[in-house]
Structure 1
């Protein structure tokens, strides 16, 4: 699988990542099988979070045979220094590792998130200290808000930003373009979410897939073009949804990746017309 530079760090990551939510709720044997499959297919980028059910507990033992060959990312929803430190230590324990390659402020969405995490006694202080101690190598954040993402990129030399790069939101609403440009200007790697999302669920509409809180793409051809659209932007990698079927579709597409053509982009735009963009989120 193709690997791309991870910002200014010198690391190179597979263009498809392994979202830890894939192993939430599975048996240890199933988790080990999925991780082995990922490594065999060329994936070296794994991402997980404490909020993904028991994913850390499952991923740690499954990843242990390959730990020195892969790049492991984790996150914290804690906004204060002490809470972030506790959560980091618990993640290290569950993931059975002595360091996390990329530790991220998770789901930075509101002004309050910014003020708490970035202010005195905030979570960023704990992460910087952990980097100094060798527990963390790089520092990033994930965001579903352009405004907050831009503030963060201006406030600290983050190594990466993880955010939605979704064909409908990008083409119809323009969501993500400003983050992409600012991150590129400051040298932060761009990591993509929601490439295989289609639209926002209507109120009361049941989930199509258990681990997708939005309407996912269910047509394989559409999924391939949508993912290729995301990977045609200046991103390092994309993390597919936590559904095994969609993840395997993404692997197959990445094996033969080619950038989208102008004609394909135009067809995607026509398909997106009439769909409700997943982002920006409603106020």
Structure 2
């Protein structure tokens, strides 16, 4: 049977029988309401000594929520073992909400921020504003955000570019580690050519990895360089197939996996690449599902049958990223 027709030709009960027994046991305990068996596991941040939670808290979660909701979300995440938080000025009012909510927990957390500014003046101003709004005197990780072209990289590394601010900020102790996020393999490789970054933040979900071959070369190079690999889009399925007014998840520009078994397949595939941490989509319910799966010990390696399932899912839909020819 072709992979595209694999899922259509298999009943729900048949699919359940293909799932890894260790995952099924953890899932059943989780669904039965059993207390979490552990906090969210932590891993070393690449070659550094810091440890970060394998599930990260994306700042978009607190965008447009009340200050009270933000404090509750952050407090519960910390209580569950999450210590890795990532935010950016481009996420609406997320910094304004995250700063006060995270302040009581700041010393035990790994705070990452980003800038889309490519020139030094803009990057300097945005860094200072992020520190002020986040109510902290340092960022654990500062990242060039959303590198999408060689021009982006060239501008950031040119004389008077953003990297001058990054390097000086690290010397002054305003930031501890340097990284970048990218939605382009070409830009990611160009950035790694220019600087030995501590980490990369990159889309590493199975639909694009399998169908488009998007991600493997970047992952391989980062792994060989000992960088921390921080994964975006592990729970991303495909481009939206419905109009904006009909979308259940309004903080994502793509259609996320939101059913438990598919969410787990996405997280388990990406986790097994391997990566150091994964950031779920920016909705509390989706983030909490990922956290609870991690706490339940349900993010087990995929078996051969599950790899057939993810290959079939990958073929069924328009991928959110395409590999550049």
Q: State TM-score, norm by structure 2.
A: 0.84
Structure 1 runs (4+) deviating above 3 angstroms are 202-208
User: How many angstroms apart in 2 are the aligned matches of 1:229 and 1:186?
Assistant: 22
Q: Relative to 1, partners in 2 of residues 1:114 and 1:182: Cα closer, same or farther, differing over 3 Å? A: same
Structure 1: distance between partners of 2:61 and 2:302: 27
Q: What residue in structure 2 maps to residue 190 of structure 1?
A: 229
56-65 vs 219-228, which moves further: 219-228
CA distance in 2: counterparts of 1:134 and 1:263, whole angstroms: 49
What SS does structure 1 have at the residue aligned with 2:230?
strand
In the alignment, the residues of structure 2 paired with residue 200 and residue 174 of structure 1 have an alpha-carbon distance, to the nearest angstrom, of 17
Whole-Å separation in 2 of the counterparts to 1:184 and 1:111: 22
Q: Does 1:231 align with 2:271?
A: yes
Which one is further off, 160-169 or 212-221? Answer: 212-221
Structure 1: runs of 5 or more not aligned: none
CA distance in structure 2 between the aligned counterparts of 1:96 and 1:246, rounded to whole angstroms = 27
The structure having more radius of gyration, on CA atoms, is 2
Residue 281 (structure 1) shift:
7.3
Partner of 2:167: 128
Q: Distance in 2 between matches of 1:273 and 1:47?
A: 31
- Separation in structure 1 between the aligned mates of residue 144 and residue 186 of structure 2, nearest angstrom: 15
In 2, the alpha carbon distance for the partners of 1:246 and 1:220 equals 10
Q: Distance in 2 between matches of 1:130 and 1:145?
A: 26
Which residue pairs with 2:85 in the alignment?
46
SS in 2 for 1:258: coil
Residue 262 of structure 1 deviates from its aligned partner by 2.3
Given candidates 257, 266, 280, the residue that maps to 1:240 is 280
Maintained 8 Å contact 2:208/2:319: yes
Q: What are the equivalent positions in structure 2 for 1:68-147 lying under 5 Å apart?
A: 68-147=107-186
Aligned CA RMSD, in angstroms, stands at 1.5
Distance 1:185 1:177 in 2: 12
The match for 1:253 is 293
Is residue 179 from structure 1 mapped to residue 221 from structure 2 by the alignment?
A: no
The structural deviation recorded for 1:228 is 1.1
Q: With a CA cutoff of 8 Å and minimum separation of 6, indicate the structure with the bigger relative contact order.
A: 2
CA displacement at 1:155 relative to structure 2: 1.2
Q: Does 1:220 align with 2:220?
A: no
Q: Distance in 2 between matches of 1:198 and 1:14?
A: 23
Q: Which moved more, 1:260-269 or 1:96-105?
A: 260-269
Q: CA shift at 1:224, angstroms? A: 1.2
Q: Which residue of 2 aligns with 1:24?
A: 63
Shift of 1:203: 8.7
Greater Cα shift, 204-213 or 127-136 = 204-213
Which position in structure 2 is the counterpart of 1:262?
304
| C-alpha deviation, 1:47, in angstroms | 0.3
Gaps of 5+ in 2: 1-39
Task: Tell me whether 38-47 or 246-255 shows the greater mean CA deviation.
Answer: 246-255
Q: TM-score normalized by structure 1?
A: 0.96
Q: Distance in 2 between matches of 1:214 and 1:268?
A: 18
